[in-house]
A and B are shown apart, each in its own frame.
Chain A
Amino acid sequence: MASDEFSVYMSGVGGQGLVLLSNVMGSACASVGIQAITGEQHGLSQRSGSINIHMRIGEQIRSPLIPIAGADAILALEALEALRYVEYLKPGGVVVMNKRIQHPIIETIGHMKDKATRYMSVEEVKARLSEVTDKVAVVDALEIAKKAGNPLTENIVMLGALSTLEAFPIPEEALKKSIAENVPKKAVDVNLRAFDLGKQAAFETLCNIVKCKK
């Protein structure tokens, strides 16, 4: 595969605003003349189910779906959803995952019936992912989003973190402009703040384990 290609497998739970992320990245690509395509999920699975978006950047890419072991990175807005799609990660690829876990209701029901069970924790998810890559970073996106001024900006926090990767091909200026164009007018400032705080968080975690932009 050409080295200028970048595929990121984005996952989360219906309602977390994954589509905004692919729109922000895609519009930024369009504005600077980079090819990008996505495979998205709309419809039934949006109802609190597991959802994913395949985001692919590169001139020669035609398939909207990332092949198995083809993702340079997994960006998970919810920790369990990072593990759910681990087969898409390239060996040694990067995982940027939210610290937050939304317990699936069927897990909770199992939990109610059997007192001995515990929920799968972020640490557990991280440990398991570490078996296939040494590049797992956990971001406390909810806390950071609240700090930015709106808990709903978790998705942009995560994007900010991802954007620090050296391999991430979209220039920051284009990305920020795209954020401003894709969120409601009165939410522009808080989202840009969320983006910057996400970046900052990555410099403290992610960038200790992978090559980041200066």
Chain B
Amino acid sequence: MGSADVVRDGPAKAFMLCNEAIVRGAIEADVKVVSAYPGSPTTEILDTFSGVKSNFDYRMEISSNEKVALETCAGAAMVGHRSISSMKSVGMNVASDSFFSLSYTGVKGGMVIVMADDPQAHSSQTEQDGRAFGPSAYVPMLEPSNPAEAKRMVKLAFDLSEKHGVPVLMRTTTRVNHQSGIVELDKIVRKPFEKLDWSHAPARFTTVADTARKFKLQLLERTKRLEEEFNSSDLNRVEGTGSEVGIVTSGAGYNYAVEAARILGIKPSILKLGTTYPLPKRLIADFLKKVKTVIVVEELSPYLELHVTAIAKDANPSVKIIGKWTGHFSEAFEYNTNIVVDAFAKALGLRTPVDYDAVMAKAEELKKGLSDRPPTFCPGCPHRATLWALLQATKGMKHILSTDIGCYSMSFLEPLNYGDSMLSMGACMGVAAGMQYAAKEKVIAMVGDSTFYHAALPGLVNAIHHNDDFTLIILDNEVTAMTGQQPNPGSDYNAGGQPAKRIVLEDVIRGMGITDITVIDPYQAKAVVQPIKEALARKGPNIIISRRACALYADRNKRKRGEAILSNKVDKDVCKKPYACIRSFNCPAISIDDDDRKATISKELCDRCDVCAKLCPFGSIKLREGE
């Protein structure tokens, strides 16, 4: 697993996360420039590239956002180098402006964009179906089902990209990215990095009006050629022949379809599509001619189903098509084996070998009273302290909280349920601008440092320029915490630990013309309530910076330095059970002792931020010593 296998020379077998396999594939394909912004479920691609960087000579940036990342890759590919970017599909929304144009101008060096959807919205705002990007931009799109396939596809994607002069999209979903499996490692053959000559005619990569129209005709031709190639590509394959029942599927859906067929003991013909744009229409038509019933297994929108239906009209009008439109599958949420088993059983009149409803009913009965465990701030998280102080400072003050994307988004989950709106990266500020026009209440915007640099800067420019009346709280925890503590423009290093210029938040804000900046350390707890109160009372736009390193990040650094991570404990003789450490503070390291109902702190979980000690009116929380 992990970095060791990514750098290990082949031939060999390794167990790898799909995201690591993607990196390995790109390295085998001799990628020269890497640029990305973290976002689940693609983050481990960036982390792996960053982690093994010292072993290879590719250039790499953790960009300030996905659009910059994609453009960095585009620039390198225009010159002639191979480049790769990865992003979640909501990141692709940010990058899409340049993405569409890039399809027109094309590239010279191979360029691959890994774009991951997140059905079930595990770590995303929406269940966006990013497959729309392929057809709407006329960019070829490949979809792997597992790590081994993903690695192979990345390599093919680079070749395809160079051959057709177009960036290639590799679309994945969470259950593909976050699947580990056995991968064949090939030999690593890399050419030394060197700068290339710019060998293009003037205006080669500009597109507008006349040139755009010329490009459009060219890309239609290109798409035709790609479709022809995909009709006979082994990325698309038929498994099992002779059945009257056919399955058309791709990506994660394929995995569930194979397993569901196995559970039900059926042997359908399966058309597994690896190229989902342009679709290999002839291949699909041939497949449809041989079956009486076809079941389309795909998550999210009925993209394949739509095309299968259209192709069937000529190829085999009598074929029965089962999918979302027949009500067998939903457009909501991710699938799993059981969902597909149920749909197959219903469509084909089969009985399931297990009475799943009975199993679920029994499980529900056994779980009665079992508490949920939603994600929450880590012990010692500075956001917990900031939010506690903000809640105290705004007691009795009617206000709206326009928040943003990051660990602090968890404020609106149980148990805090605090926060009024959250749309997309950096949106807190534009939304706050609108709110302060329309609402009677005080408006507070809240953003983390990474998100601030990512997409909130234009929002702040706008707010300052228009003298919008809201207070912006910037939670500066030094890193992009939510995705695993990557460096961001506020860090003095970047990918692979290479030195980078640190952007100073206060300088940026002052440079834009705001002088009303209040800097607090959230670990000071009660002491910061008054300064927050005062800042909120002033007319905006003004800024509060709550500065304290992400606890996980700080712990990692402590471990690196060989420093002990201390913990607190409750002095039971002093504790009078006011529960000040629990009420509206909610540190998961604290629980209540069932015997005496006093608070107790887990030595293993506590991070010793010491905020709980500052909240306790009796001073019963102390440093744990000599244990």
Report A's interface with B, CB cutoff 8 A. 1, 13-15, 22-23, 26-27, 29-31, 33, 35-50, 60-70, 80-81, 83-84, 86-87, 102-112, 115, 118-120, 128-129, 131-132, 142, 151, 181-182
Query: In the complex the two chains form, is B15's CB within 8 Å of A30's CB?
Result: yes
* Residue in chain B with minimal CB distance to A45: B375
Query: In the complex the two chains form, is A63's CB within 8 Å of B14's CB?
Result: no
Query: In the complex the two chains form, is B122's CB within 8 Å of A63's CB?
Result: no
The 4 closest A-B pairs by CB, nearest first: A49-B375, A26-B15, A43-B40, A107-B371
- Interfacial chain A residues near B259, Cβ < 8 Å: 61-63, 67
Take A38-B179, A41-B178 as given contacts and tell me if A49 and B255 are in contact as well, using a CB distance cutoff of 8 Å: no
**Most chain B beta carbons < 10 A, residue from A26, A83, A120:** A26
- Interfacial chain B residues near A37, Cβ < 8 Å: 146, 179-182
For chain B residues 41-80, which have a beta carbon within 8 Å of chain A?
A: 41, 43-44
Q: How far is the CB of A98 from chain B (nearest CB, A)?
A: 12
Roughly how many angstroms separate A161 CA and B565 CA in the complex, as a whole number? 29
Q: How far is the CB of B452 from chain A (nearest CB, A)?
A: 20
Of the residues B180, B337, B363, B375, contact of A47 by C-beta under 8 Å: B375
Query: In the complex the two chains form, is A119's CB within 8 Å of B594's CB?
Result: yes
- Interfacial chain B residues near A68, Cβ < 8 Å: 338, 354, 356, 359-360
Q: How far is the CB of A22 from chain B (nearest CB, A)?
A: 6
- Interfacial chain B residues near A60, Cβ < 8 Å: 262
Query: In the complex the two chains form, is B415's CB within 8 Å of A105's CB?
Result: yes
Pairs across A and B, CB under 8 Å, 19 listed: A26-B15, A27-B5, A30-B15, A36-B15, A41-B122, A42-B40, A45-B123, A61-B259, A62-B146, A63-B259, A68-B338, A68-B359, A86-B366, A105-B588, A106-B371, A106-B373, A106-B414, A120-B371, A142-B604
B2 at the interface (CB under 8 A from A): yes
Of the residues B256, B363, B588, B597, contact of A87 by C-beta under 8 Å: B363
* Residue in chain B with minimal CB distance to A23: B1
Roughly how many angstroms separate A61 CA and B587 CA in the complex, as a whole number? 41
For chain B residues 15-50, which have a beta carbon within 8 Å of chain A?
A: 15, 17, 40-41, 43-44
Roughly how many angstroms separate A40 CA and B20 CA in the complex, as a whole number? 13
Q: How far is the CB of A100 from chain B (nearest CB, A)?
A: 9
Of the residues A44, A69, A142, contact of B122 by C-beta under 8 Å: A44
Roughly how many angstroms separate A104 CA and B582 CA in the complex, as a whole number? 12
For chain B residues 174-212, which have a beta carbon within 8 Å of chain A?
A: 175, 178-182
- Interfacial chain B residues near A81, Cβ < 8 Å: 373
Roughly how many angstroms separate A23 CA and B370 CA in the complex, as a whole number? 29
Roughly how many angstroms separate A79 CA and B1 CA in the complex, as a whole number? 28
B505 at the interface (CB under 8 A from A): no
Please, how many residues of chain B have a CB less than 8 angstroms from a CB on the other chain? 72
Roughly how many angstroms separate A91 CA and B587 CA in the complex, as a whole number? 37
- Interfacial chain A residues near B592, Cβ < 8 Å: 103, 108, 111-112, 119
Roughly how many angstroms separate A50 CA and B376 CA in the complex, as a whole number? 10
Roughly how many angstroms separate A50 CA and B372 CA in the complex, as a whole number? 8
Query: In the complex the two chains form, is B14's CB within 8 Å of A44's CB?
Result: no
- A102-B605, A103-B592 known; 9 new pairs, CB 8 Å cut-off, are A29-B15, A42-B178, A45-B122, A83-B366, A87-B360, A106-B372, A107-B371, A109-B582, A115-B597
Roughly how many angstroms separate A66 CA and B255 CA in the complex, as a whole number? 11
**Most chain A beta carbons < 10 A, residue from B180, B255, B579:** B180
Q: How far is the CB of A79 from chain B (nearest CB, A)?
A: 11
Of the residues B255, B367, B374, B588, contact of A63 by C-beta under 8 Å: B255
Query: In the complex the two chains form, is B263's CB within 8 Å of A105's CB?
Result: no
Query: In the complex the two chains form, is B375's CB within 8 Å of A46's CB?
Result: yes
B616 at the interface (CB under 8 A from A): no
Roughly how many angstroms separate A1 CA and B337 CA in the complex, as a whole number? 14
- Interfacial chain B residues near A129, Cβ < 8 Å: 366
Of the residues A47, A61, A182, contact of B1 by C-beta under 8 Å: A182
Query: In the complex the two chains form, is B44's CB within 8 Å of A26's CB?
Result: no
Roughly how many angstroms separate A49 CA and B373 CA in the complex, as a whole number? 5
Query: In the complex the two chains form, is B337's CB within 8 Å of A65's CB?
Result: yes
B422 at the interface (CB under 8 A from A): no
Roughly how many angstroms separate A1 CA and B254 CA in the complex, as a whole number? 18
- Interfacial chain A residues near B410, Cβ < 8 Å: 44, 47
- Interfacial chain A residues near B180, Cβ < 8 Å: 22-23, 26, 36-38, 40
Q: How far is the CB of A82 from chain B (nearest CB, A)?
A: 10
- Interfacial chain B residues near A70, Cβ < 8 Å: 337
Roughly how many angstroms separate A65 CA and B256 CA in the complex, as a whole number? 8
Query: In the complex the two chains form, is A103's CB within 8 Å of B370's CB?
Result: no
Roughly how many angstroms separate A70 CA and B588 CA in the complex, as a whole number? 32
**Most chain B beta carbons < 10 A, residue from A26, A44, A50, A151:** A44
Query: In the complex the two chains form, is A26's CB within 8 Å of B1's CB?
Result: yes
Contact with A along B365-386 (1 / 0, CB 8 A): 0110111111111110000000
Of the residues A69, A104, A120, A131, contact of B356 by C-beta under 8 Å: A69
Query: In the complex the two chains form, is B371's CB within 8 Å of A69's CB?
Result: no
Query: In the complex the two chains form, is B262's CB within 8 Å of A49's CB?
Result: no
B504 at the interface (CB under 8 A from A): no
Take A33-B13, A108-B591, A120-B369 as given contacts and tell me if A42 and B579 are in contact as well, using a CB distance cutoff of 8 Å: no
Roughly how many angstroms separate A86 CA and B365 CA in the complex, as a whole number? 11
B283 at the interface (CB under 8 A from A): no
- Interfacial chain A residues near B258, Cβ < 8 Å: 62-63
Q: How far is the CB of B604 from chain A (nearest CB, A)?
A: 6
Roughly how many angstroms separate A27 CA and B586 CA in the complex, as a whole number? 38
- Interfacial chain A residues near B597, Cβ < 8 Å: 115
- Interfacial chain A residues near B602, Cβ < 8 Å: 102
Take A43-B40, A109-B586 as given contacts and tell me if A119 and B375 are in contact as well, using a CB distance cutoff of 8 Å: no
- Interfacial chain A residues near B354, Cβ < 8 Å: 68-69
**Most chain B beta carbons < 10 A, residue from A13, A22, A37, A45:** A37
Roughly how many angstroms separate A28 CA and B255 CA in the complex, as a whole number? 23
Of the residues B337, B373, B378, B582, contact of A50 by C-beta under 8 Å: B373
**Most chain B beta carbons < 10 A, residue from A47, A63, A131:** A63
Roughly how many angstroms separate A207 CA and B604 CA in the complex, as a whole number? 29
**Most chain B beta carbons < 10 A, residue from A87, A107, A111, A129:** A87
Q: How far is the CB of B184 from chain A (nearest CB, A)?
A: 10
- Interfacial chain B residues near A50, Cβ < 8 Å: 372-374
Roughly how many angstroms separate A129 CA and B579 CA in the complex, as a whole number? 33
Take A41-B178, A42-B41, A106-B371 as given contacts and tell me if A112 and B583 are in contact as well, using a CB distance cutoff of 8 Å: yes
- Interfacial chain B residues near A66, Cβ < 8 Å: 337
Query: In the complex the two chains form, is B175's CB within 8 Å of A39's CB?
Result: yes
Take A43-B122, A112-B582 as given contacts and tell me if A83 and B15 are in contact as well, using a CB distance cutoff of 8 Å: no
* Residue in chain B with minimal CB distance to A121: B594
Roughly how many angstroms separate A110 CA and B360 CA in the complex, as a whole number? 26
B482 at the interface (CB under 8 A from A): yes
